[in-house]
Amino acid sequence: MGTPDFAVPALRALVAAGHDVGAVYSQPPRPGGRRGKELTPSPVHQAAQALDILVRHPVSLKRADEQAAFADLAADIAVVAAYGLILPQPVLDAPRLGCLNIHASILPRWRGAAPIQRAILAGDPTTGVTIMQMEAGLDTGAMLATIRTSIETKTAGELTAELADKGAALMVETLRHLPHHRPVPQPDAGVTYARKIDKAEARIDFSQSAGQVERLVRAMNPAPGAFFELEGERYKVLTAEVVDGEGSAGTTLDDALTVACGDAALRITRIQRAGKPAMDTAVLLRGRPIPAGTRLC
């Protein structure tokens, strides 16, 4: 049960490990393609089709007929990874050994929808994956296995891809040794909630420290993309680095798009104008100079 790219490695790993995947559940196809007029299956849906596995994509699992259809699969376990739909209690109870979730954090830190982005924004040095028994609460179930990785200067996209692969391997290993895993309740201390990313959060506030802004850039890459506006046009900042410098927050300090922040400065190294391809900042500035003293907002 999964929807985005994050869940695809888990599906492929389960099949490669010889598990009998009776069905794949994914969110319904969404408008996409040219001009958004075509319904596009999710990445997991497409991966399941390539593997010739039955795909179901109900809008909700609250209806009794959907719950009955799920129970009729007579599954031993449901593996869940970024599915995006709430699993009602009858669904949680249907598999013989319950539902196991691949969650992209070290629980109980960053329960919720956006654990990877929130870990980067908070400046966490490490994160990881937890294999968890699902229950009615939000990411509150007992833990079966964890694996850690350092965040360093990774973007959300890079970290998502890494954790997807690590989570897939950890799930296969957990299933292989499932009888020997003793679920461990999550501790009460250290609980944080990773609320969904709001697009409004992606606007850069240069009054923050350069370190905070740099983390925002990485957390919003690839989507929705950290941005500033200049003369009514939106610019997405894709990569940036913290450098020495001081000045009025939001003001460029040179002709190379180094911007003063509340503390230190940010040198923008890769950027994207609205409706244009991504490019190195030096390339942008050859065609669209942004001189020192320009105010960004």
Return the pLDDT at 37.
73
* Residue ranges making up the domain that contains 80: 5-194
DSSP E strands, 184-247: 193-194, 226-230, 233-243
Q: Which of 256, 250, 249, 259 is nearest to 289 (CA)?
A: 256
Binding-site residues for (6S)-5,6,7,8-tetrahydrofolate sit at 105-108
What is the predicted pLDDT for the residue at 232? 94
Nearest CA to 100 out of 16, 5, 173, 17 is that of 173
The pTM of the full predicted model, rounded to 2 decimals, is 0.95
Contacts of 106 (CB under 8 A, 6+ apart): 126, 127, 128, 130, 146, 148
Verify that 158 and 246 share a domain, yes or no: no
We report the CATH number of the domain holding residue 81 as 3.40.50.170
Where does the pLDDT of residue 119 fall: very low under 50, low under 70, confident under 90, or very high at 90 and above?
Answer: very high
Task: Supply 7's token pair.
Answer: 């869940």
The CATH number assigned to the domain holding 247 equals 3.10.25.10
Could you tell me which residues are annotated as the binding site? 105-108
- Tell me, what's the pLDDT at 24? 98
pLDDT value, residue 36: 64
CB 206 within 8 A of CB 240: no
CA–CA separation, 5 vs 65, rounded Å? 28
Among 194, 219, 235, the domain boundary falls at 194
Instruction: Kindly report, residue by residue over 24-75, the tens digit of the pLDDT.
Output: 999 999 987 666 678 999 999 999 999 999 999 999 999 999 999 999 999 9
In a domain, 74, yes or no: yes
Q: Facing residues of 129 across strands?
A: 147
| Angle in degrees, CA 262, 213, 153, rounded to 5 | 135
What is the chain's mean pLDDT, rounded? 96
With respect to residue 294, please indicate whether it lies within any of the assigned structural domains: no
pLDDT at 14: 98
Please list, residue by residue across 138-169, b when 16 or more beta carbons sit within 10 angstroms of its beta carbon and e when fewer do. ebbbebbbbeeeebeebbbebbbebbbebbbb
pLDDT confidence bin for 180, thresholds 50/70/90: confident
- The 10s digit of each residue's pLDDT in 181-225 is 889 999 999 999 999 999 999 999 999 999 999 999 999 999 999
pLDDT digits (tens, 9 = 90+) for 77-109: 999 999 999 999 999 999 999 999 999 999 999
Question: Are 144 and 177 in contact, with CB atoms under 8 Å apart?
Answer: no
**55 and 152 both lie in a single domain:** yes
Q: Is residue 39 part of a domain?
A: yes
Does residue 292 form part of some domain? no
- Provide the domain count of the chain: 2
pLDDT of residue 181: 84
Cα–Cα dist 15/51, whole Å: 9
